[in-house]
Amino acid sequence: MNAYAILVVNQHLESLLAEAANDRLVSQLPKPSLRDRVASVMSSARSAVAEQADAGTSVLPALHDYPYRS
């Protein structure tokens, strides 16, 4: 049982070391600027609205069959 526990602990330590190495590599990647991130969000929002307009459907719900609408 002791040998099995040592194997399990070593495997867990190896996975933690691999995760730390991966986190270190990710932190060294260049991060996009705020301007690039805002431009990306605006571009994706613009394309989503354009797809809805091309499909002829509305993003807003239809207001028929509502009890409070006269």
For range 3-14, the mean pLDDT: 94
Dihedral Cα 37, 41, 42, 45, nearest 10 deg: 170
Please answer whether residues 43 and 35 qualify as being in contact, where contact means their C-beta atoms are separated by less than 8 angstroms. Answer: no
Distance CA 57, CA 24 (A): 46
Instruction: Look at residue 65 in the predicted model and tell me its pLDDT.
Output: 72
Instruction: Look at residue 67 in the predicted model and tell me its pLDDT.
Output: 72
pLDDT digits (tens, 9 = 90+) for 23-61: 999 999 888 899 999 999 999 988 888 876 666 666 677
Q: What residue ranges do the domains of the chain occupy?
A: 2-51
Distance CA 39, CA 23 (A): 27
Phi (first) and psi of residue 41, to 5 degrees = -65, -45
User: Between 61 and 14, whose confidence is greater?
Assistant: 14
Instruction: Look at residue 64 in the predicted model and tell me its pLDDT.
Output: 73
